[in-house]
Amino acid sequence: MVSGDNRTNLARFSDDLASICQQQKAVFGALPDDLKQYWFLLWVTEDGYGGLEHKDSTLLLCSRFDLPAPGATEIDDNYQNLLALCSHEYFHTWWVKRLKPACFHPYQLSAEQYTSQLWLYEGFTSYFDDLALVKAGLIPAERYINSLEKTISRVSRNPSDSAQSLLDSSFTAWTKFYKQDENAPNAVVSYYVKGALLALCLEAQLRANGSSLQQLVRQLWQHYLSSGTADNAVALSLTQLGFTELAAVLTQWLAQAAPLPLQQTLPALGLELVYRPMQHMDDNGGNSHNDSIFIGAQTKVVNGLLQLSQVYQGGNAHNAGLMAGDQLLAIDGIKVSADNLSKLLSRYSLGSQLQVHFYRKDRLLMASLPLNTATQQVAVLTVKDERLCKAWLDESA
Ligand SMILES: [Zn+2]
């Protein structure tokens, strides 16, 4: 059901949703026994985005430009994101609305519920949401791989990848993930995004050994639907499927505050992963044809001044002693704005020392900013083995 004014092709949207539902049902082999009907309740507004899963429905919010234009047949990023959101919430019908952590039995709505398993319920869901789009043929493999570059980069470019474990990120969701401040890229890892990467690593390892993540998901669904999953349920299921070593590796991946071994595991899916330095604020990986140098901070315009909103630990701005909240005024005597920052930086070569004037609260300060290779790394993926890649992304697999 779609409400809100919109000019779109609802027949196309409805067909695409049907293909996604088929795909997610195929992961589990069947619909949940007690599911008699399912409603996508979509509210179209000027600039909304979000979704909430329920047992027999999902309540979604999108911008009217996320829906496809009436005559359009191609898929753009906005529509892809909307379909991925629908796919995500529908996957939750099995994965968290029915199968859920044992400590959610019964769920206490009157108080915060703590669990270390959000990487499993939100991370796996985030992995399967995009995957359904490519398996259903709604996006080509190249588009999917491009999305994967973004997913990897969103984790790899943040120092938090080496600062917080997935177990910790899950357990502190109420106090940290949902209360993020300007230091979040350095301290808080997303159990959604890194959880999806963990699912990807498991998929690669399982496929390398003749199984798949789908098999693991079904094993969990069949064994823990009534009791709920204890914290060791995934490791236990891996052991039951004969992957004792992988169970131990998983336990380590979850507990350590360290990057996942994507470069080592992805060849099993036919992919080669290399990292390159982040080049600008919105750099999410993929091939790049310029080589500008990243300042090591996110910026936003506040009262007409360019303010550092987040400073990456170990990055150029951080090494210069700059802090979140500082307002940049000039680089080597030239006024800085949101429009000219990257143009100004592109005139310098690696190793340059820039003189930066900035306000810290009401004080005018000056610092020397070294322009070194960005320590923030983003992902570039290349298909190296078409056969393996196709077997993974093929509808029937
Ligand atoms: Zn979710």
Distance 303 CA to ligand 1 centre (A): 35
User: At 5, is the pLDDT very low, low, confident or very high (cuts 50, 70, 90)?
Assistant: confident
State the residue range of the domain holding 48: 1-76
CA separation for the pair 149, 271 (Å, rounded):
11
Do 251 and 311 reside in the same domain of the chain?
no
Q: Which two tokens stand for residue 92?
A: 């939750």
pLDDT at 396 over 70: no
Distance 125 CA to ligand 1 centre (A): 6
Distance 245 CA to ligand 1 centre (A): 29
Side chain identity, residue 307: Q
Distance 89 CA to ligand 1 centre (A): 6
Do 241 and 352 reside in the same domain of the chain?
no
Do 264 and 187 reside in the same domain of the chain?
yes
Do 333 and 392 reside in the same domain of the chain?
no
CATH classification at residue 195: 1.10.390.10
Q: What is the pLDDT, as a whole number, of residue 273?
A: 98
Do 179 and 273 reside in the same domain of the chain?
yes
Q: Does residue 85 fall inside a structural domain?
A: no
CB neighbours of residue 191 within 10 Å = 29
Residues 147-191 have pLDDT tens digits of: 999 999 999 999 999 999 999 999 999 999 999 999 999 999 999
Distance 135 CA to ligand 1 centre (A): 20
Distance 173 CA to ligand 1 centre (A): 13
Do 273 and 313 reside in the same domain of the chain?
no
Distance 90 CA to ligand 1 centre (A): 9
Q: Does residue 292 fall inside a structural domain?
A: no
Please answer whether residues 273 and 381 qualify as being in contact, where contact means their C-beta atoms are separated by less than 8 angstroms: yes
pLDDT at 397 over 70: no
Q: What is the pLDDT, as a whole number, of residue 394?
A: 87
Q: Does residue 156 fall inside a structural domain?
A: yes
Do 258 and 337 reside in the same domain of the chain?
no
Q: Does residue 173 fall inside a structural domain?
A: yes
Residues 300-344 have pLDDT tens digits of: 999 999 999 999 999 999 999 999 999 999 999 999 999 999 889
Do 366 and 389 reside in the same domain of the chain?
no
pLDDT at 202 over 70: yes
Beta bridge partners of 39: 57
User: At 395, is the pLDDT very low, low, confident or very high (cuts 50, 70, 90)?
Assistant: low
Question: Mean pLDDT throughout 197-222?
Answer: 98
Distance 344 CA to ligand 1 centre (A): 40
Q: What percent of the chain clears pLDDT 70, i.e. is strictly above it?
A: 99
User: At 289, is the pLDDT very low, low, confident or very high (cuts 50, 70, 90)?
Assistant: confident
H-helix or E-strand spanning residue 3: strand 2-3
DSSP letters for 111-138: S----S-HIIIIIHHHHHHHHHHHHTTS
Pairing of strands 271-277, 39-45: unpaired
Do 142 and 222 reside in the same domain of the chain?
yes
Distance 47 CA to ligand 1 centre (A): 20
CATH classification at residue 308: 2.30.42.10
Question: Mean pLDDT throughout 135-145?
Answer: 97
Pairing of strands 363-370, 353-360: antiparallel
Q: Does residue 376 fall inside a structural domain?
A: no
Question: Mean pLDDT throughout 223-228?
Answer: 97
Do 333 and 212 reside in the same domain of the chain?
no
Q: Which two tokens stand for residue 199?
A: 């699912």
Residues 69-121 have pLDDT tens digits of: 999 999 999 999 999 999 999 999 999 999 999 999 999 999 999 999 999 99
Q: Does residue 326 fall inside a structural domain?
A: yes
Distance 58 CA to ligand 1 centre (A): 11
Q: Does residue 160 fall inside a structural domain?
A: yes
Residues with CB under 5 A from ligand 1 (ion): 122
Q: Does residue 90 fall inside a structural domain?
A: no
Express the helix, strand and coil content of the chain in percent, nearest 5 each: 40, 20, 40
**Among 21, 45, 76, where does a domain finish?**
76
Do 201 and 272 reside in the same domain of the chain?
yes
Residues 14-54 have pLDDT tens digits of: 999 999 999 999 999 999 999 999 999 999 999 889 999 99
Domain count, the chain: 3
Distance 121 CA to ligand 1 centre (A): 7
Q: Which two tokens stand for residue 97?
A: 């609305």
User: Closest Cα partner for 182 from 293, 322, 295, 292?
Assistant: 322
Q: What is the pLDDT, as a whole number, of residue 291?
A: 77
pLDDT at 290 over 90: no
Do 386 and 343 reside in the same domain of the chain?
no
Distance 365 CA to ligand 1 centre (A): 44
